[in-house]
Amino acid sequence: MMQCGWKPSKVTFINIHSALSPLSVPELGKQVHALMLKDGVSESITLENALLSCYAKSGVMEYCENIFARMHNRRDGMSWNSMLAG
């Protein structure tokens, strides 16, 4: 996608994390997370929840805890459910 000149949107990142979650491949999740940070789109509760879910399902709870702590004013039911499931 990016090689063709397209820039990923928030929806793209959410779908990528949704696709990665069942695979339990934390390395790919970390790479996509780094791209989100680089593009400056990580400050969205929907994206943060997608990250929480992906990392929790991959067993990377340290990353979940860091993201969850940063979103202390924006947590919703999905945020809490992802943490509890992890």
The whole domain housing 68 covers 7-81
CA atoms within 13 A on the CB side of 21: 18
* Residue 76 in domain: yes
Determine the Cα–Cα distance for residues 29 and 31; give it in Å rounded to an integer.
Answer: 5
* Residue 38 in domain: yes
* Residue 1 in domain: no
* Residue 2 in domain: no
Determine the Cα–Cα distance for residues 1 and 39; give it in Å rounded to an integer.
Answer: 15
DSSP state of 23: G
The pLDDT of residue 21 = 76
Provide the number of structural domains found in the chain.
1
* Residue 86 in domain: no
* Residue 37 in domain: yes
The pLDDT of residue 4 = 93
Q: What is the pLDDT along the chain (86 residues), one digit of tens a residue?
A: 889 999 888 899 889 888 887 777 788 888 988 988 888 777 789 999 988 988 888 888 999 999 999 998 889 999 999 899 88
